[in-house]
Structure 1
């Protein structure tokens, strides 16, 4: 049975983090543009100084604890989730899933807009009851020595959480990053349980050579994909082949952890090179701190390992559940509809969003919430 709890990091762990940050040893800056070869030394120094002297973990911890939280001790993992009742005449159960390097902290501004739309000027008939888990192997869904998980197991575990443990025989799903591919997996193998799925990242096969006689729109995507595979996937190779080796550095060094994740916040958000224009330091550090205090960064790599060592996780029959897609302009990859239709066989909503990137729930919570509400509004009838 789920046990409700309040999360509190021990004072000594906070003191240990501050001490480590006080002893940080930085590399020399590479020549040329400060971001050309990875994370800027000056940017990391500024973020680490603020982490030590200005950031208040207890404030962010209290924001998390403002939502009802639960844990289940499963044989394969501890499963942590927020379970927030909706305020409306018939709230729809919604499974909300993050990815890497995200966490449930991504959703703290989004959840109220989904559970209580009237508070933000919306219609209470659009309310959801939100279940937002830490993905198995992430955050508080981690204990030392536990099983490691790929997206297939993550989809199965969370579908069981919804329809088995929590008693929602049919439910809605929303996800980004690994949460999006877990949603797609559910929409293929657990379609009978889904009311529908909404994603802000579309996963399609990533082999440029597989596209025959591409249209001009498809050619743009192929060029973007080729660049991404050549220049932006170093993190995937090491996380997908040597996750244990990388774990030592990022579990022991908070500055190393911050540098690893900061680069992705900057590269994947709609920030024009100034990451704090899209994500505040407090929002970034709440997420980074959650990885640090739970010591789950190593376990969080394993979806990459399994993705590299297993077949494509979507069956040839494709994703048959009704699908909605919010296409944020600075998402990592944005396949055109003609390609997406080959995997997602029942796309009912496709929205070109005005602003935002990969971390849509943090960058544009109101816009994302509105698109989720609009998509599922049609499926409530």
Structure 2
């Protein structure tokens, strides 16, 4: 890793240490040198984004990255979040733990589970909205204690050295983390890979998870029964997913099957890393084809630079391989914990209500008017509103924090 992690001597609880990341100037000099030395591919005329990343846009972004992007300023902004490290399963795990501000009534602890290609960055805009709703015009009684961990091999969490952890194993670590932080019962929410993690938290710890919110029902869906049992809407959904996989799923096939092949180039070339990540941020967001409608250059590059400096693109991709080995029997278990879903219009193919009710005890389905796969970052106010609405019935005095 190209940064030094600083642990304070002040421990808020045993075995939990405040954490700040500081990037060595030499690492940024090396990054700029590599960006300026990028070898660009030839491009078919008028290709745009049709065959993958728009090279013309990427060249513009890489020039900005090398000449204007202020990583120390972004690093300082992220350092304002209350960030910590602790050992779980023999790994140093980095996480945000933000307490409710000016709470009114019982506070619900909430663990937010990120996905790929991101990290705790996904939730950086929404934390204040959830911990201090009153100052943002919402009901102060809807305040949460928020925990946002980086999964092993993502962000500032340690890479597993022997084998990658799957979503079941990560959910077990998060249950242990919440216990260590003094949250015996809590809510869980997630998207992308984090949807799987939050689902397994609800499945394996139903005595502790009071309710679970998910954005995408844990794509891809798994069904091992008779297809005749599915509704016509469900069958159409499976058909659309098959089409999406054929046209958009090459990245996932690579992650599942040969992640180390891609990891060599993506770990060596910052331009290549940006191409791999930024194309997904565009394709999966509600940007209408204009990437900077949803993300500024600084926001895009903060996500990509986190991957670059922590050298986590390879370890993050390997989690897909681990998840591909989860037995189908675990993937078809129905969630009995009260479940809510938010179907953002720019996300990857929203499932029908019948499918959500088939796979979970679905008590809430929200359909916000804007936002995509990265809704906590794209539309933080709408995402926070969805969480407040869904979790409101599950706040009781019996939930100490």
Tell me if both proteins adopt one fold, taking TM over 0.5 as the criterion: yes
Alignment partner of 1:196 out of 211, 224, 229: 211
Residue in 2 aligned with 1:124?
A: 140
Structure 2 length as normaliser, TM-score?
A: 0.90
Shift, 1:317, TM fit: 4.1
Alignment partner of 2:98 out of 84, 87, 92: 84
Alignment partner of 2:109 out of 83, 93, 109: 93
* 1:247-303 deviation digits (Å, cap 9, x = unpaired): 111111000000000110111001111111111111111011000001111110122
Question: In structure 2, what is the Cα distance between the partners aligned to 1:77 and 1:47?
Answer: 34
How many aligned residue pairs are there? 379
- The root-mean-square deviation of aligned C-alpha atoms, in Å, is 1.8
Alignment partner of 2:33 out of 11, 16, 19: 19
Superposition map of 1:201-216 within 5 A: 201-203=216-218, 205-206=221-222, 211-212=227-228, 214-216=230-232
Question: In structure 2, what is the Cα distance between the partners aligned to 1:217 and 1:30?
Answer: 39
Q: Assess if the C-alpha contact under 8 Å between 2:18 and 2:82 holds in 1.
A: yes
Residue in 2 aligned with 1:319?
A: 335
Shift, 1:97, TM fit: 1.1
Superposition map of 1:1-381 within 5 A: 1-87=15-101, 88-89=103-104, 90-143=106-159, 145=161, 147-163=163-179, 165-203=180-218, 205-206=221-222, 211-212=227-228, 214-312=230-328, 314=330, 316-344=332-360, 346-381=361-396
Residue in 1 aligned with 2:9?
A: none
Report the CA distance shift for 1:151/1:313 in structure 2 as closer, same or farther (over 3 A). farther
Question: In structure 1, what is the Cα distance between the partners aligned to 2:175 and 2:151?
Answer: 12
* 1:186-237 deviation digits (Å, cap 9, x = unpaired): 1111111101111111126246996326544334413321211211111111
Q: Assess if the C-alpha contact under 8 Å between 1:151 and 1:181 holds in 2.
A: yes
Question: In structure 1, what is the Cα distance between the partners aligned to 2:237 and 2:108?
Answer: 35
Question: In structure 2, what is the Cα distance between the partners aligned to 1:186 and 1:259?
Answer: 33
Question: In structure 1, what is the Cα distance between the partners aligned to 2:305 and 2:232?
Answer: 43
Question: In structure 2, what is the Cα distance between the partners aligned to 1:234 and 1:208?
Answer: 24
Q: Assess if the C-alpha contact under 8 Å between 1:208 and 1:225 holds in 2.
A: no
Q: Assess if the C-alpha contact under 8 Å between 2:222 and 2:331 holds in 1.
A: no
More displaced, 108-117 or 302-311? Answer: 302-311
Question: In structure 2, what is the Cα distance between the partners aligned to 1:356 and 1:75?
Answer: 35
Q: Assess if the C-alpha contact under 8 Å between 2:88 and 2:173 holds in 1.
A: no
Q: Assess if the C-alpha contact under 8 Å between 2:152 and 2:160 holds in 1.
A: no
Q: Assess if the C-alpha contact under 8 Å between 2:107 and 2:395 holds in 1.
A: no
SS state of the match for residue 132, structure 1? strand
SS state of the match for residue 137, structure 1? coil
Q: Assess if the C-alpha contact under 8 Å between 1:188 and 1:315 holds in 2.
A: no
Report the CA distance shift for 1:78/1:313 in structure 2 as closer, same or farther (over 3 A). farther
Report the CA distance shift for 1:328/1:259 in structure 2 as closer, same or farther (over 3 A). same
Question: In structure 1, what is the Cα distance between the partners aligned to 2:331 and 2:35?
Answer: 46
Question: In structure 2, what is the Cα distance between the partners aligned to 1:314 and 1:75?
Answer: 22
SS state of the match for residue 22, structure 2? coil
Question: In structure 1, what is the Cα distance between the partners aligned to 2:316 and 2:333?
Answer: 29
Q: Assess if the C-alpha contact under 8 Å between 1:355 and 1:364 holds in 2.
A: yes
Structure 1 length as normaliser, TM-score?
A: 0.95
Report the CA distance shift for 1:254/1:191 in structure 2 as closer, same or farther (over 3 A). same
The unaligned stretches of length 5 or more in structure 1 are none
